[in-house]
Amino acid sequence: MSEAPSPITATDASNAGNIGNASSPIAGTLRSNTLGLRHAIVISVAVMSPAASVFFNTIIMAGPAGAAIPFCFAVGFVVALLVANQYSELSREMPSSGSAYTYVSEGLGPRWGFLTGWIGLIAVALGAPYTFVFMSANLQTLMSRWFGVNLHWSFYFVAAIGIVFAMCYLGVRQSMTVDLGFLAFEIGVCLVLALIVLLHVGQQGGLTPAPFTPGAAPANGDLAVGIVLGVLNFIGFETAATLGEETRNPRRNIPRAVFGSMIVVGIFYLLMAYVATVGYGPSHMVTGYANDSAPFDTISRRFGGATLAVFIDLVGIFGFFSAALAIVNGGSRILFSVGRDGLLPRWMAWTHPKRQTPAGAITALCIIGVVVGIGLGLAFTPIGAFSFLGTLDALFILLIYILTNIACFRYFWRKRRQQFSFWRHGLFPALGTLICIGIVAAAVSSPGNPPLNFVPVVVGVWLILGAALILALRSKFAAPNKAEG
């Protein structure tokens, strides 16, 4: 029997995952009504790191997909929009900094909400070191090339994460303004490169729609792998939901930000993937592009000279930095919400008394980032750590997508039956779930060479630990379950 629809306030949503600690004092609160639609869009766009994703992730895609990279991004765009629908629908009902943790707690119950928070804990902890370890290695190379300064990459890692800590600590509005500046620079430089390449190739009659068709894939390639990689480039669009308690009119602005960021990045991906293909040459994607450590540097030098290449190199650095800044901002708010509900140490929910930033969670993420990033960077090399952390992070986030998709269906079917839509709450979540499960299965069954072969083991161990904690905390889950019944 369905329940009658009732409005859920931001305060209600923020406590959706509470498992019985209502009597415990909440350490702090976030500053409400301080952000606008543009800030929510910026944080999602920054986490997706559109320029850096196109510059480096397409190298991996070029081997299996060849000249069909734009086609893979087009399919990934459609798949990502399917999943974005669930976040949009649930954020309209429950504007909360907890994002998926809150949605799953309300849709599937506190145990599944805890598991989502547990998976989210490692996902957000891996985000900053994943972006910084590659950026630091790249910065070491550029500083040596430009100025003859050859400091170890770990120096740049610590310096960068210190700057991110300071920006996030001072305030989300200020740090989002910095992110907006970086994104404007990145997209502006990329659009200049795109215009130059398209005009030059067009004058030679080299523009063709073929890269947007599956027929452009190499005969011995694997288009399915290319599509999976294309989908993974969109991970991070949901970060706007973590600003649900700080954004003005979140029921309207957060759903708009989720889709708005997706559309902006999707169009950018399609354009730059096409520029990469026709600029490098469709016939050279497998033999050349896939083996080029900096293909966009190669393209920019060919069509714009050394000066444009310097700007492209800067875009790569800024892209990773802005992504890490947004990841710490978004991830700290998830940890804040889980800590506020008593599922993490209470100091995780501590906020600065004046700035109202989740200072405890920000500090934790930055410390974890230094330990994990430098530790794995030294153990695997920065490139190996980047690949390992990125793959691991993507799998954990895909698991969260699966839980959110299922929670969307169950929430609207059981608690908002009058609002239930076959398309938005039935078919789209079902398709999103099947696609995400397929991607996770493919990644786990064929993880790759070391250290990637350890990825399924880490995922399995983390899930087992989560299940064990649920059993250990079963008495805390008992009260909400009785209330639901």
Q: What is the pLDDT of residues 217-247, one digit of tens each?
A: 998 888 888 888 888 899 999 999 999 999 9
- Of all residues in the chain, the percent with pLDDT exceeding 70 is 93
Answer yes or no: is pLDDT of 444 > 90: no
Q: Domains, the chain, ranges and CATH? A: 29-477 (1.20.1740.10)
Span 51-76, average pLDDT: 93
Q: How confident is the model at residue 27 (pLDDT cuts 50, 70, 90)?
A: low
Answer yes or no: is pLDDT of 133 > 80: yes
Contact partners, residue 95, CB within 8 Å, separation at least 6: 10, 13, 244, 245, 247, 250, 251, 254
Q: How confident is the model at residue 29 (pLDDT cuts 50, 70, 90)?
A: confident
φ and ψ at residue 2, rounded to 5 degrees: -75, 150
Answer yes or no: is pLDDT of 475 > 80: no
Span 412-432, average pLDDT: 95
Which of 244-253, 333-342, 445-454 has the highest mean predicted lDDT (pLDDT)?
244-253
pLDDT score of 478: 66
Instruction: Determine if residue 52 is left, alpha or beta; phi over 0 gives left, psi from -120 to 50 gives alpha, anything else beta.
Output: alpha
Ranking 90-99, 337-346, 347-356 by mean pLDDT, the lowest is 337-346
pLDDT score of 346: 87
Q: How confident is the model at residue 14 (pLDDT cuts 50, 70, 90)?
A: very low
Answer yes or no: is pLDDT of 193 > 60: yes
Answer yes or no: is pLDDT of 12 > 50: no
For the four alpha carbons of 402, 403, 406 and 409, in that order, the dihedral sign comes to negative
- How many Cα neighbours within 13 Å face the side chain of 261? 34
Span 457-464, average pLDDT: 96
Q: How confident is the model at residue 421 (pLDDT cuts 50, 70, 90)?
A: very high
Span 322-342, average pLDDT: 91
pLDDT score of 3: 40
Ranking 56-60, 156-160, 191-195, 285-289 by mean pLDDT, the lowest is 56-60
Decide which of 102 and 5 is more confident: 102
- How many Cα neighbours within 13 Å face the side chain of 465? 11
Span 248-276, average pLDDT: 95
Element (H, E) at 69: helix 69-93
Decide which of 450 and 41 is more confident: 41
Answer yes or no: is pLDDT of 39 > 70: yes
Q: What is the pLDDT of residues 289-322, one digit of tens each?
A: 999 988 999 999 999 999 999 999 999 999 999 9
pLDDT score of 485: 39
Q: What is the pLDDT of residues 134-182, one digit of tens each?
A: 899 989 998 998 999 999 999 999 999 999 999 999 999 999 999 999 9
Helix (H/G/I), strand (E/B), else coil: 35: strand
Q: Which two tokens stand for residue 136?
A: 């630091």
Query: In the predicted model, what is the mean pLDDT of the chain?
Result: 89
Q: What is the pLDDT of residues 447-458, one digit of tens each?
A: 778 888 899 999
* 65 neighbors 226 (Cβ within 8 angstroms): yes
Q: How confident is the model at residue 124 (pLDDT cuts 50, 70, 90)?
A: confident
DSSP state of 82: H
Element (H, E) at 228: helix 223-232
Q: How confident is the model at residue 288 (pLDDT cuts 50, 70, 90)?
A: very high
Q: Which two tokens stand for residue 203?
A: 């004058």
DSSP state of 422: I
Q: Which two tokens stand for residue 101?
A: 């943790």
Decide which of 178 and 12 is more confident: 178
| In 341-453, alpha helices (H) | 359-380, 382-415, 428-445
